[in-house]
Chains A and B, each alone.
Chain A
Amino acid sequence: MVEIRWHSRAGQGAVTGAKGLGDVVSTTGKQVQAFALYGSAKRGAAMRAYNRIDDEQIINHEKFMRPDYVLVIDPALAYTDDITANDKSTTKYIITSHKAKDELISEIPTLQDKSDRVFVVDCIDISLKTIGRAIPNSPMLGAFVKISGMFELDYFLDRMKKVLSKFPQKIIDSNMDAITTAYNEVK
């Protein structure tokens, strides 16, 4: 079982990202679960979304999780949210930030003994440049594909195009661009 926790603000697309990842994972024959814990569900409120991925049907409905991956798609939440909660010694962190990795880690005490498991990518900047709006979920998926090694990039892009097939071509293209850019830029 692979478990993923997304830290996001309502409106940034963590739920859509988690479901999109689920859609792609399901095409590989694996079982997937995507859900979210909403606070009062106001735009901008801190929230968490979750994925579980397994070979067997997933019958665990606990909210509790020890994540294998923590995906932070809002830069400020890396500082204000408890992003290392219930982590493991192998948990990998992908954080969106305009800062360099060393600088970011130096400012967040809980990450300082985990620097080899922390990866940084500026999903906000990438989404602004490719999609034209601060929707950091698509770039985060690209970074996740790279760090997890769960898929080849081309396979993921091909499947993601199908997931987005009901959208106009321009939106599909810009999302593919966002995913590819983040894949190449995550460090």
Chain B
Amino acid sequence: MAEKYDLQEVEVWDGNYAAAHALRQAQVDVVAAYPITPSTPIVENYGLFVANGYVDGEFVMVESEHAAMSGCVGAAAAGGRVATATSSQGFALMAEVLYQASGMRLPIVLTVVNRALASPLNVRGDHSDMYLGRDSGWIQLDAFNAQEAYDMTLCAFKIGEDASVRLPVMVHQDGFITSHTAQNTNPLQDEEAYAFVGEYQTYQEMLDFSKPVTYGAQTEEDWHFEHKAKQHKALMDSRAIIDDVFEAFEKKTGREYKRVESYMMEDAEVAIVALGATVETCRLAAQQLRAEEGIKVGVVAPRCFRPFPFDKVREALSDVKTVCCMDRSSPGGAMGALFNEVSAALYSTKNRPLVTNYIYGLGGRDFSVEEAKRIMREQKAHADAGYITTAIQQFSGLRGPKLGFFETNRR
């Protein structure tokens, strides 16, 4: 029996430590991991918890992230609760097995501390790895601070393991900004947290020899399509379960989460859409701009990046004049992913606001409150003019000549 960990009502935890405690409290059966900056402390602290008797499960050190996720797939197929952590290059090396895990419908929890992808090599936070996972068939939840990294990790088990979902779940937090910043955190006591997550419910486990099953079978044009369509439907249908789990979590803790978070949107004319810790920076900028200049700015943030909350994004942004989508990943010859997806959602609304795109913060470039305010003022100018007055895609915080692409045809 695992030892109970002595926790205060308020702990000062960084995002990594918060995630490690959530994994401990969920009493994971197998963690197979290969540590990488900036998620190393999740694995390190989890290993310490195991060594000190706070976890009954197995901690498997492996030789690469490909092996880490492969170990997780094996253990999950065998019938255990399974989790691991990674970032950046490690995430990239896992990519092949991420698709295996989701295709086999294994509810593994992966805590991802977002970091840039090389080259050039960079250990700081951006969303390149999170975006790399967006077609992998995993549910992707996004935490904006350490408390949320803890909360979302607990919710992840409950969502992924639900009998009608059975899909793997990633919980994202921003490298360093969240993972290495300690803030007041309110953890649940061990027994409360475990009661919320619940006993692991096995489903077609390979170690049940009385009912032999196959995982990872080959299907060609005869069945592959049906499997993938079913998987996609499970992801789409998981929206209702995610809502339910968030509601149950609110009942337990008083902390309310939605698939799309909205701040100061009641009367907003201008909206910023962002992910990660930037959401909080934008909230602060919007508060200041409202008080200082009377600009009606709001902030909208997908808490759930996959399944993409097409429905809730439309609801949140239906009444604004302009929307600016902030993408913290190099778009590689396209518009940013958040811009593309939000624009697609808004295209089928009556109002169809003006939508612009900023690429920002790559490789951990600081995103300041002042810069957020400048961007918000610029959106207000678009709203007043009635058309996009700048390039549609711009770069924020970039040194050297100003960079921008595409002009509006709607003026």
Query: A residues bordering B, Cβ < 8 Å?
Result: 18-19, 22-23, 26-27, 31-36, 57-64
B177 within 8 A of A: yes
A23-B12, A26-B12 in contact; A61/B182 too (CB < 8 A)?
Answer: no
B280 within 8 A of A: yes
B95 within 8 A of A: no
Q: Are B368 and A62 in contact (CB under 8 A)?
A: yes
Q: B17 to chain A: closest CB distance in Å?
A: 10
Q: Are A19 and B12 in contact (CB under 8 A)?
A: yes
Residues of chain A contacted by B12 (CB below 8 angstroms)? 19, 22-23, 26, 32, 34
B 365-394 contacts with A by CB, 8 A = 366-369
B 139-194 contacts with A by CB, 8 A = 145, 176-177, 180-184
Q: Are A63 and B366 in contact (CB under 8 A)?
A: yes
**How long is the Cα–Cα vector from A34 to B277 in the complex, in angstroms?**
15
Q: B272 to chain A: closest CB distance in Å?
A: 14
Majority SS of interface residues in chain A?
A: mixed
- Beyond contacts A26-B10, A32-B184, A58-B183: 15 other A-B pairs, Cβ-Cβ < 8 A, are A19-B12, A22-B12, A22-B182, A26-B11, A32-B182, A33-B181, A34-B183, A36-B180, A57-B184, A59-B281, A59-B283, A60-B284, A61-B181, A61-B281, A64-B366
Q: Are A60 and B281 in contact (CB under 8 A)?
A: yes
**How long is the Cα–Cα vector from A45 to B145 in the complex, in angstroms?**
28
Q: Are B180 and A35 in contact (CB under 8 A)?
A: yes
Q: Are B10 and A27 in contact (CB under 8 A)?
A: yes
A26-B12, A60-B281, A60-B369 in contact; A35/B184 too (CB < 8 A)?
Answer: no
Q: List 7 A-B contacts (CB under 8 A).
A: A35-B14, A35-B176, A59-B145, A59-B280, A62-B368, A63-B366, A64-B366
Q: Are B366 and A59 in contact (CB under 8 A)?
A: no
Among B14, B182, B277, B280, chain A packs the most CB atoms within 10 A around the CB of B182
Residues of chain A contacted by B281 (CB below 8 angstroms)? 59-62
Q: Are B183 and A33 in contact (CB under 8 A)?
A: yes
Residues of chain B contacted by A61 (CB below 8 angstroms)? 177, 181, 277-278, 280-281
Residues of chain A contacted by B177 (CB below 8 angstroms)? 61
Q: Are B182 and A19 in contact (CB under 8 A)?
A: yes
**How long is the Cα–Cα vector from A47 to B163 in the complex, in angstroms?**
49
**How long is the Cα–Cα vector from A28 to B277 in the complex, in angstroms?**
26
Identity of the chain A residue whose Cβ is nearest the Cβ of B174 in the assembled complex: A61
**How long is the Cα–Cα vector from A22 to B182 in the complex, in angstroms?**
8
Residues of chain B contacted by A22 (CB below 8 angstroms)? 12, 182-183
**How long is the Cα–Cα vector from A60 to B181 in the complex, in angstroms?**
11
Residues of chain B contacted by A63 (CB below 8 angstroms)? 366
**How long is the Cα–Cα vector from A27 to B184 in the complex, in angstroms?**
10
Residues of chain A contacted by B183 (CB below 8 angstroms)? 22, 31-34, 58
